[in-house]
Amino acid sequence: MPDAPPFRKILVANRGEIAIRVMRSAKELGCATVAVYSDADRDALHVRYADEAYHLGPSALAQSYLNADKLLDVAQRAGADALHPGYGFFAENAAFARRIIGAGITWIGPHPDAIDAMGDKIRSRQAMVAAGVPVVPGGTDAIADANAARAAAEKYGLPLALKASGGGGGKGLKVARSVEEVESAFSTAQREASAYFGNPTIYVERYLENPKHVELQILADKHGTVLHVGERDCSLQRRHQKLWEEAPALIPEAVRAGLRAAGVQAARSIGYDSVGTIECLVSGDAFYFLEMNTRIQVEHTVSEEISGIDLVREQILVASGRPLGLTQDEVDASFRGHAIEVRVNAEDPAQNFRPAPGTVERYREPGGFGVRVDSAAFPGFTITPDYDSMIAKLIVRGRNREETLARLARAIDEYVIAGVPTTLALLRALCDFGPVRDASYGTATLEPFAASLALRQAQGDGVARGASNGVVQDASGATGATSAALDDTAAASAGTPDGTIRVEVNDKLFRVRFVDLPTPVTLSLSKGPGGTTRSVPKKGGTTRSASPAAAGNDVVAPMHGVVVEIPVAPSASVNEGDVVAVIEAMKMMNEIRAHKAGTVAAVHVTAGTTVEARTPLVTLA
């Protein structure tokens, strides 16, 4: 007789592909699922896939996915007895976890004390030192100011990494390679730390040149069992954020054994009781603890592929109090072959990975043996500047690494995405790149390679595959996702093929079937008074006016975003390449640099201003 479902109804407090990923495992366990969505995500696939869906509010994170009061209210209204935070958003927020638990709802994640212990990077370094786990050489206390940062550079040597204590994902991380760069790196890291995490605390550690970034997958229950599910190499990064991950990592066996033992010890030392990740840097025959992520991660998929273990399923079962039905010997015996995940993002690698919000016009996923795609994209899917730039995760597995690389190249060649620049062309080129082929790459490998591709593409030798915007395309003209289970998206904004339409009542989404379906209203351009053309807003939205034209002396915004800082003032002299503005877009800080030398004649925006692409920021004379 099958086991009873661990929960009756799970609310997934996240969006996009990770929400669908969690819901799939929940449904297999017999749990009903609840989705939440912002204005921007009303047509999203995770909303359609869930058993119920509730509206949170406007697109801005603070008013939707990061609105703790609204999420708790929805969980109670829906009658959810468990909440899964996904990754990002509230996944590593101990205060939110405590609120959920206090409301009588099960938190599908580690206990809040473990989140606290590892959430602050200074405290986590202190905990690892106490547990006997090696850490990257550096301090275990906060750096108060630029003078203290310079003293740390003298003590630990250069290059020096200045890092946000409350952060992760490469945000709030700056590297100083000379004493002269320390003050600027400190102020920039502190500014980003405040903007992203609301915590300006900075600490320092020695910056290792081109190490491997290797992380260990942890799986633990509430009964004292702590296991590892192998390690992953996540070294191919841009802006200190991962783009390519693979398992197992190709590292010396002695390092592998030491890292696994230390990782399990680290998790056990804080009483860890969920899925999580121990991140380390590997340099030669040494490894160092970097941080612990107390949540499921984007790249968990490759660990699943080589072990055959559904990590999200185990996470849900562990949260319900069930013991792991596995031993470490059984996990070790389950490892098979090799797996690689690549992140397909709406970014332009030729423009320093500039985020590229827009609408996906054509979309077709690859298939075949050993190919998996985790995505929430479809033709007409809009990538908004409000959230991150991920379109999909492409995961392949094979009997060995050589076969896996060949399968990845083939899958990328099949992938069709049109309408926005993507990372596909770069990922395809990496499949043939020597340091990737022999796995000798490190954390400093990807960005120079991407820059060299962009230069060669600009020179017209065609080395970067696909169209000039970096999108791999085919000539078939085919459109549409291949997933039949989610393939009702062609009519995303006009009702579904089975004759139902979506109705929102008191912020809860219902699907309603009409016997006599009304004729859809067509929205189009119409003539206003005096013969002028006006646009009719769609879906209750507002029409934005066009951005002002940018002249040759203007430094313009390259994308929609929020101005974080304007470090120049009128009459100031700037050199070509100087930073004149910082814009936050799609979870990235983008430094906008002067395209020529001159004097600042005018500053058109202030910190906090939301700007459209091509909006003049600064005018040079």
Residue 29 lies in a domain: yes
For the chain, how big is the Rg over CA atoms in Å?
A: 25
Residue 380 dihedral angles phi and psi, to the nearest 5°:
95, -5
> What average pLDDT score do residues 450-459 get?
85
Which backbone phi and psi does 168 adopt, to 5 degrees?
A: 170, 180
Is residue 132 in some structural domain?
no
pLDDT in tens, 335-391: 999 999 999 999 999 888 988 899 999 999 999 999 999 999 999 999 998 899 999
Residues 177 and 260 in one domain: no
| Residues 497-513, mean pLDDT to the nearest whole number | 76
Evaluate whether residue 467 is within a structural domain. no
397 and 249, same structural domain? yes
Give the pLDDT band (50/70/90) at residue 119. confident
Lowest average pLDDT, out of 313-317, 438-442, 462-466, goes to 462-466
State whether 150 and 263 are in the same domain: no
Read off φ and ψ for residue 251, nearest 5 degrees.
Answer: -135, 160
pLDDT band at 551, cuts 50/70/90? low
The CATH number for 158's domain is 3.30.1490.20
Please state the separation of Cα 381 from the chain's center in Å: 18
User: In whole angstroms, what is the distance from residue 300 CA to residue 317 CA?
Assistant: 17
pLDDT digits (tens, 9 = 90+) for 200-248: 999 999 889 899 999 999 999 999 999 999 999 999 999 889 999 999 9
Assess whether 178 and 229 both reside in one domain: no
**Helix or strand run (H / E) with residue 6:** none
In a domain, 524, yes or no: no
Q: Considering the domain boundaries, does residue 581 fall inside one?
A: yes
Contact between residue 466 and residue 257 where contact means Cβ atoms under 8 Å apart: no
Check whether residue 373 and residue 292 sit in a common domain. Answer: yes
The DSSP letter of residue 87 is: S
Among residues 441, 458, 475, the one where a domain terminates is 458
Is 348 domain-assigned? yes
| Whether 196 and 295 share a structural domain | no
- pTM of the predicted protein model: 0.80
How many residues are recorded in the chain?
A: 621
Are the C-beta atoms of residues 395 and 374 closer than 8 Å to each other? yes
**Same domain flag for 291 and 412:** yes
pLDDT of residue 192: 85
The model's confidence at residue 612, banded by pLDDT at 50, 70 and 90, is confident
CATH classification of the domain holding 346: 3.30.470.20
Domain boundary among 436, 458, 480: 458
Q: What is the pLDDT of residues 17-62, one digit of tens each?
A: 999 999 999 999 999 999 999 999 999 999 999 999 999 999 999 9
Q: How many domains does the chain have?
A: 4
Task: Indicate whether 329 and 266 sit together in one domain.
Answer: yes
| 564 and 454 inside one domain | no
Q: Is residue 17 part of a domain?
A: yes
Q: Are residues 143 and 240 in the same domain?
A: no
Q: What is the pLDDT of residue 549?
A: 46
Residues 142 and 97 in one domain: no
Q: By residue range, what is the domain housing residue 147?
A: 137-206
The enclosing domain of 65 has a CATH number of 3.40.50.20
> Based on the domain organization, do 26 and 158 belong to the same domain?
no
In a domain, 549, yes or no: no
